[in-house]
Amino acid sequence: MAAQAAAAAQAAAAAQAAAAQAAQAEAAESWYLALLGFAEHFRTSSPPKIRLCVHCLQAVFPFKPPQRIEARTHLQLGSVLYHHTKNSEQARSHLEKAWLISQQIPQFEDVKFEAASLLSELYCQENSVDAAKPLLRKAIQISQQTPYWHCRLLFQLAQLHTLEKDLVSACDLLGVGAEYARVVGSEYTRALFLLSKGMLLLMERKLQEVHPLLTLCGQIVENWQGNPIQKESLRVFFLVLQVTHYLDAGQVKSVKPCLKQLQQCIQTISTLHDDEILPSNPADLFHWLPKEHMCVLVYLVTVMHSMQAGYLEKAQKYTDKALMQLEKLKMLDCSPILSSFQVILLEHIIMCRLVTGHKATALQEISQVCQLCQQSPRLFSNHAAQLHTLLGLYCVSVNCMDNAEAQFTTALRLTNHQELWAFIVTNLASVYIREGNRHQEVLYSLLERINPDHSFPVSSHCLRAAAFYVRGLFSFFQGRYNEAKRFLRETLKMSNAEDLNRLTACSLVLLGHIFYVLGNHRESNNMVVPAMQLASKIPDMSVQLWSSALLRDLNKACGNAMDAHEAAQMHQNFSQQLLQDHIEACSLPEHNLITMAHPLCSSKLRMDPTPAWPAFCEACVPNLDPTLELSGNKTTRVPTSPSPLSRAKS
């Protein structure tokens, strides 16, 4: 009996102890939940009361909470301080503690890996990349049993290598991620990894590796059955890569079927409702871009195609739509990719303005791009060469050739990107051609380096056609007319093959000019009339000015007084419009930008110009025309409006 009584007493004591512990845990949970609730209330207030939120979270620690609560609270504090304040030192301290403590707690993956992810972001923001890399590598190593976090951390480290221009390491990591996604049964995330790798291979110009990879991606995308929005977003990613690949190669006509599919795809996505049901496979918990961002991106590649093809009114229309959409998105979203989209769109609208005779507006938009780039180190780095190139093209359009030379030379020093280099050299050569005999030795050297008959440095169809045009222009100024005609016919052949309308118009009008000089008025008229029609359709003010001058003199020579008078009136109208715009542009304070030959957007020369995403989004819209006014047997240069090549890439 005594033994039974002792056992009963022990059981009662144990029950009391358990009850006391439960009560204590309940009390601890109640104070913790109360503080957490207050913190969340202050964080989500309008406007947010971040200081009070931080005070509530800090109040957790005096209670000596269990390790799980301690680690989670450090993570929450680090996250709030990182996202809502400039106190990076305290944010780093809390995140480091969260990472350290969480590694000692089993089954605590979400806190552990979120702390690692945020901490590495913070290290990168502080330019401590050497601290971020080993942290991510360790997190990747210990996260293999957690598919979502393993894939997310692989993406993050690949992005870090991409920002460092180490595309080989980034591609290797994306390949590892694709294989891991296949093993865990996530074809959706496998496609994301492969498409991301394809994007980087396009940036590296490794086309032999890109083609089989894109073919595999296409098969995976078509065969995958899952969330309709996820499937369509994969298709958009795939088609964006295809379209920009064609545009980068200057194949404006060949890209049309893919571009049409892309536009249809984004229309399909816009009609789909977001599915709130989470995927059953945690490795599928990713998306490429929000559909609102995808809409802007499709506008962007449409603009690039229109610019390259010479449909400038269409390009301007879609640029306006995209910029309006961006302004709405930026009110709610501070994603850096939106700023990249905005800069690239502005670069394209600047091209429109220069070509259509609105130099003053173009100059103000160049200034706007400068201001946007000054707000972001990444934009600073990625768009310096493009900005100096645009300024050089503006200088050419207002006949400030010395300034144009300085801007192009600066742009060349800021880039090793082959296509941009070839475009700048092509434009610089056109400046030297116009300047006569001042730079003969340098000019011959440049022309040899972009010789389209031999080892042309890039594979772009558009740039090679433009190089033929520049050779024809040089031969024309040298009086070697038969040679000039050969080069220009090659340009026409290439531009007609891919619907490069602006190059076609420029080549036709220069051929017409050559035939006029040779006295073959009939053949000259056969060239100039379609050039004028095409230039009016684009519309290209400088080619219209040039064509109207030729038509005026042709009709005079043929005795067609009424046609000559009509052409002279057209020429007068174009001249007045261009002159008025010229005066307005030169009177703006932004015109002083042309004298700044030092890097506008970087204090350090850019030695590796491979742009940030969307790096492969590049438009080639070359037109290097020497607008000439004919007066008897003399040729006099008049203000020109060349079309620039924008190297975009966010």
pLDDT digits 0-9 by tens, 491-515:
999 999 999 999 999 999 999 999 9
* Interatomic CA distance for residues 18 and 21, integer angstroms: 5
- Please tell me whether residue 398 adopts helix, strand or coil conformation: coil
Which runs of consecutive H residues, i.e. helices, occur in 333-480? 336-356, 359-374, 377-397, 401-413, 418-434, 440-449, 461-477
Residue 639 confidence (pLDDT) above 60: no
Q: Are 594 and 394 in contact (CB under 8 A)?
A: yes
Residue 310: closest CA among 618, 642, 534, 641: 534
* Percent of the chain residues topping a pLDDT of 90: 66
Q: Are 161 and 204 in contact (CB under 8 A)?
A: no
Lowest mean pLDDT among 171-180, 422-431, 481-490, 630-639: 630-639
Tokens representing 550 are 């030729």
pLDDT value for 331: 87
DSSP code at position 289:
S
pLDDT value for 600: 61
* 536 CB-contact burial (10 Å; exposed 0-12 / middle 13-18 / buried 19+): middle
pLDDT value for 23: 42
For residues 192 and 229, which has the higher predicted lDDT (pLDDT)? 192
Q: Are 449 and 426 in contact (CB under 8 A)?
A: no
pLDDT value for 620: 29
Which runs of consecutive H residues, i.e. helices, occur in 103-184? 109-125, 129-142, 147-163, 167-183
Residue 159 confidence (pLDDT) above 50: yes
Lowest mean pLDDT among 231-245, 272-286, 474-488: 272-286
Which runs of consecutive H residues, i.e. helices, occur in 538-606? 541-557, 561-586
* Buried-state track 224-253, b at ≥16 Cβ within 10 A, e below 16: bebbebbbbbbbbbbbbbbbbbbbbbbbbe
Which amino acid, residue 354? L
Lowest mean pLDDT among 53-57, 317-321, 616-620: 616-620
Would you place residue 377 in the very low, low, confident or very high pLDDT band (cuts 50, 70, 90)?
A: confident
Beta-carbon count within 10 A of 126 CB: 13
Would you place residue 227 in the very low, low, confident or very high pLDDT band (cuts 50, 70, 90)?
A: confident
pLDDT value for 599: 60
Residue 42 confidence (pLDDT) above 60: yes
The pLDDT tens digits for 543-554 are: 999 999 999 999
Go through the domains of the chain in sequence order and give each one's CATH number: 29-139 (1.25.40.10), 144-272+282-287 (1.25.40), 341-599+612-624 (1.25.40.10)
Residue 465 confidence (pLDDT) above 80: yes
* Percent of the chain residues topping a pLDDT of 70: 87
Residue 603 confidence (pLDDT) above 60: no
* Interatomic CA distance for residues 62 and 582, integer angstroms: 70
Q: Say how far residue 605 (Cα) sits from the centre of its chain.
A: 20
Place of tokens 């880039």: 415
For residues 408 and 20, which has the higher predicted lDDT (pLDDT)? 408
Chain length of the chain = 650
For residues 609 and 245, which has the higher predicted lDDT (pLDDT)? 245
Would you place residue 416 in the very low, low, confident or very high pLDDT band (cuts 50, 70, 90)?
A: confident
pLDDT value for 417: 86
Mean pLDDT over the full length of the chain: 85
